Amino acid sequence: MFIQLLLILYISLTLAILYIISSKYLGKKINKELLRYRGENVRIEILSKLYFILKVVKIITSRPSVLLIVLGVILFMIISAEATTPSHVWYEVKTYKDTLVSETIPAIIFKFNEPVSTSLINDLYSSIKKYLHSSRLDILDLNLFLRVMLDEPITIDNRDIYVVVGVDSKIFKEILNLSINDILKLRIVDDEYLIPTQGYIGPKPIFPPLNSVYITSLSRAIKILRLNTTYATEVVISLKGNTSYEVTNKLLDNIANAVNKHEFIERAYLALGNATYAYSRTLIPSINSFIIALLTSTISAMVIIAILSSLIPELLDLYRKLMIIGLPPWGGRIIAYIFIFIFIMILGIITLSLIYLGYGPTSTFNSLITFTIVSLSSLAYITKVVKVKELVRSESYIPVRRHYTYVVKSVNVDYVENVVKNSLVTNEFFDVEEIESKRYRNEVIIHSRLNFRESWGSGMDLNIILSTHDDVVKVYISTYPWGIEEISESMLNTMIALAISKIVGAIKSCILA
Amino acid sequence: MYISLTSIICIELKCLIRCRVTYLLSLFTTLLTFLIILSYGKVRLTFILASLIPITSSTITIGYTTIKQMFHTLILIGAPRRYLRISLIIISLMYSIPYSLPYIAVSISSVVYALLIVMVTYNLTLNLFLRGVRREIERMI
């Protein structure tokens, strides 16, 4: 209940902050900029264009659907985080030659968080024994290791000892014969060196100074550390029996169960000679939670795209209007991107960081999937929908001309006159009401009254003058459209275009013939 | 003579089918069912129920333009205000049933909650559109 109240508080606070930023801060800046522009009569700069764009973003922000986007982003990210079911997994690690675990004998190795007493180890041992019995495996040997780094040094043989390593007596005898360099290379398993490491520089381990390390038998180490009972930090259980594929799988499951049951186990290993597997307490998101994250991402992406699609017509309409008053061609996309950036990206990042604090890193991973998919899909959608329209030839409009001039070379004027008359008579869009022509020296005047067939009571008067200069014939076409009642401009334009194009087309085709 | 309530509902339903709202509803219902089943016991019911608000609203907003046109026509042909309100409640109830059904997997009470949430959200959003259209018409006059 408390978390829910906190969430409601967070959502309302986020909305309030976003509103204050958009209305107060931006509003003031924009007004100031506009005043500056009006008062001092200065040129519009890039900054003012930006303020202009932000003002448009503010207009879009005031729509109630924005609230749905905010709610959707926050809710689906939280659902995704809550649905996370992390799990532990087995993974294969490198098998080294210099390990204290035999290369041929299979073994289970447990590493503890801190030194663990024999009572707890016995408890673990008995549970493992039960599992091993079901897998038809026997325990061959049990080796305990105690590796302790001290805060306060212990003085042994006039040396300040900071690291005490206690090993089983059999192993201790073997170690005694080794040189210092060989001892440094010794590992229990994987990255667990016999001498505890202080850290790594790249892959290279850093060991404590060797004169402060004391390697001894386990019993002596217990005495030095003044422990009342046997303690261990690592346990190596050597096994006897056939480790087939099925047995190994069952064993891996049983060890995982043992780790999950006993809190003091930090890590478990299963060494099989040719391969070594490690089981970490580090949580990894499961496939199930990954599917949920994808599902919530899909739903949220669809929800947000659906909401955005309702905003798009208004945005485009606004953008078209703004283009007329000087918004640059890229302005529309910038407005849309700023909107996405504020209401999805910034909001998502804030929510993601809060989820990290509240739910932890594994849940954040799931929310990150949702956030990424939502951001990318909304960006892709916006990019696809808000396109900057280029004024190509097909989209540029030139008003229809009422007068047209055309020049024809090497043609007799009588021939052109006949062609024009014929084109008027055979025009399928007009009925010829009257047609007459008269010749004055080197000029022919044709007058015609046409009735438009598609609309009753409308038509046009045509005056065509054919004048000759040497062997050139100039054709002047003048149109006077009319209607006995009010007709639309588009119809007038259609009539003019149909009449002129027929005459010009007829002349052109006759010349070509 | 006024247009009947049944006719208004039929016109509204036809419009909601035409503007993809119904298809989106079935898609969201399927996804929601999967989400409820997969996240059962992990995600708090409050969040799953709250997620219905943006989901249902978004299904209507996708058909924003068509729905507005439909309201425009209905007002112009003289559909009474009372009938419009009643029809919206009926439509909201009809559309809230598929959304609440997946919640059977959780509990009966959650079905009722889901039904109420979706119905109220649907009704509020549609009423918002209707009010917008009415205001536009008043401005035109």
Note the pLDDT tens digit of each residue in A6-18.
Answer: 666 666 666 666 6
B19, A54 in Cβ contact below 8 A? no
Percent of chain A with pLDDT over 70: 84
Whole-number Cα distances in Å, B100 to A33, A137, B30, B49, B123: 51, 54, 12, 9, 15
Contact B38 A78 (CB under 8 A): no
Strand partners, A265: A112
Instruction: Return the residue in B35, B58, B64, B69 with the most chain A beta carbons within 10 A, the one to mutate for interface testing.
Output: B58
pLDDT at A121: 84
CB pairs < 8 Å spanning A and B: 84
Instruction: Please tell me the distance in Å from B100's CA to the nearest CA on chain A.
Output: 16
Q: Which two tokens stand for residue B62?
A: 């996708």
Residue A373 has pLDDT above 80, yes or no: yes
Residue A69 has pLDDT above 60, yes or no: yes
Instruction: Please tell me the distance in Å from B63's CA to the nearest CA on chain A.
Output: 8
Q: Which two tokens stand for residue A471?
A: 């062997």
At B132 the three-state DSSP class reads: helix
Query: Closest Cα partner for A156 from A199, A214, A205, A80?
Result: A214
Give me the residues of B, 101-130, that contact A with CB < 8 A: 128
Contact B58 A295 (CB under 8 A): no
Nearest chain A Cα to B61, which residue?
Answer: A310
Instruction: Please tell me the distance in Å from A260's CA to the nearest CA on chain B.
Output: 20
pLDDT at A27: 57
pLDDT at A22: 59
- Residue A299: which of B31, B50, B128 has the nearest Cβ? B31
Length of chain A, please? 513
Question: Is B61 in CB contact (< 8 Å) with chain A?
Answer: yes
Nearest chain B Cα to A293, which residue?
Answer: B35
Q: Which two tokens stand for residue B58?
A: 């978004």
Radius of gyration for the alpha carbons in chain A, expressed in angstroms and rounded: 44
A72, A158 in Cβ contact below 8 A? no
Q: What is the dihedral of CA A145, A151, A155, A159, to 10 degrees?
A: 90
CA quadruple A20, A21, A25, A30: dihedral positive or negative? negative
Residue A38 has pLDDT above 70, yes or no: no
Residue A276 phi/psi, 5-degree rounding, is -125, 130
Nearest chain B Cα to A287, which residue?
Answer: B38
The Cα–Cα gap between A77 and B6 comes to 42
Q: Which sequence spans correspond to the domains of chain B?
A: 5-140
Question: Is B37 in CB contact (< 8 Å) with chain A?
Answer: no
Mean pLDDT to the nearest integer, A108-121: 86
Comparing A39-53, A365-379, B80-94, the range with the smallest average pLDDT is A39-53
Instruction: Please tell me the distance in Å from B81's CA to the nearest CA on chain A.
Output: 24
A205, A197 in Cβ contact below 8 A? yes
Contact A68 B53 (CB under 8 A): yes
Residues 6+ apart with CB under 8 A from B140: none
Q: Write out pLDDT tens, residues A384-395.
A: 887 755 544 555
Question: Is B39 in CB contact (< 8 Å) with chain A?
Answer: yes
Name which residue leads in pLDDT, A87 or A192: A192
Residues of A within 8 A of B128 (CB-CB) are 64
Name which residue leads in pLDDT, A162 or A41: A162
Q: Write out pLDDT tens, residues B96-126.
A: 888 888 888 888 888 999 999 999 998 998 8
Nearest chain B Cα to A1, which residue?
Answer: B46
Residue A252 has pLDDT above 50, yes or no: yes
Going by the DSSP 8-state scheme, the letter that residue A99 receives in this structure is: B
Q: Write out pLDDT tens, residues A394-442.
A: 555 677 888 999 888 878 888 889 889 988 998 888 999 999 999 888 8
Mean pLDDT to the nearest integer, A228-247: 82
pLDDT at A3: 55
Residue A344 phi/psi, 5-degree rounding, is -120, -50
Name which residue leads in pLDDT, A13 or A70: A70
Mean of all residue pLDDT scores within chain A: 80
Residue A484 has pLDDT above 80, yes or no: yes
Residues of B within 8 A of A306 (CB-CB) are 24, 58-59, 61-62
Residue A370 has pLDDT above 80, yes or no: yes
Q: Which two tokens stand for residue A261?
A: 């049951």
Query: Closest Cα partner for A477 from A492, A466, A485, A468?
Result: A466
Residue A33: pLDDT band (50, 70, 90) is low
Q: Which two tokens stand for residue A203?
A: 């892959």
Q: Write out pLDDT tens, residues A118-161.
A: 888 888 888 888 777 777 778 888 888 888 888 888 888 888 88
Mean pLDDT to the nearest integer, A44-48: 58
Name which residue leads in pLDDT, A491 or A46: A491
Mean pLDDT to the nearest integer, A103-130: 83
Contact A307 B58 (CB under 8 A): yes
Percent of chain B with pLDDT over 70: 97
Residue A215 has pLDDT above 70, yes or no: yes
Question: Is A293 in CB contact (< 8 Å) with chain B?
Answer: no
Contact B54 A78 (CB under 8 A): no
Residues of B within 8 A of A307 (CB-CB) are 54, 57-58, 61
Going by the DSSP 8-state scheme, the letter that residue A66 receives in this structure is: H
Contact B58 A71 (CB under 8 A): no
The Cα–Cα gap between A39 and A41 comes to 6
The Cα–Cα gap between A296 and A62 comes to 27
Tell me the domains of chain A and their CATH numbers.
2-84+301-385 (no CATH), 90-282 (no CATH), 403-512 (3.30.530.20)
- Residue A299: which of B47, B55, B64 has the nearest Cβ? B55
Mean pLDDT to the nearest integer, B36-65: 83
pLDDT at A42: 47
Residues of B within 8 A of A295 (CB-CB) are 31, 34-35, 38
Residue A448: pLDDT band (50, 70, 90) is very high
Percent of chain A with pLDDT over 90: 6
Instruction: Return the residue in B33, B64, B69 with the most chain A beta carbons within 10 A, the one to mutate for interface testing.
Output: B64
Residue A447: pLDDT band (50, 70, 90) is very high
Residue B73: pLDDT band (50, 70, 90) is confident
pLDDT at A34: 53
Whole-number Cα distances in Å, A40 to A36, A248, A279, A440: 6, 84, 73, 65
Residue A19: pLDDT band (50, 70, 90) is low
Residue A278 phi/psi, 5-degree rounding, is -120, 145
Residues of B within 8 A of A310 (CB-CB) are 61-62, 64
Radius of gyration for the alpha carbons in chain B, expressed in angstroms and rounded: 16
Residue A446: pLDDT band (50, 70, 90) is very high
Name which residue leads in pLDDT, A102 or A169: A169
- Residue B62: which of A4, A296, A306 has the nearest Cβ? A306
Task: List the A276-280 sheet strands across, edge first.
Answer: A90-93, A276-280, A265-271, A107-117, A231-240, A138-156, A159-167, A213-217
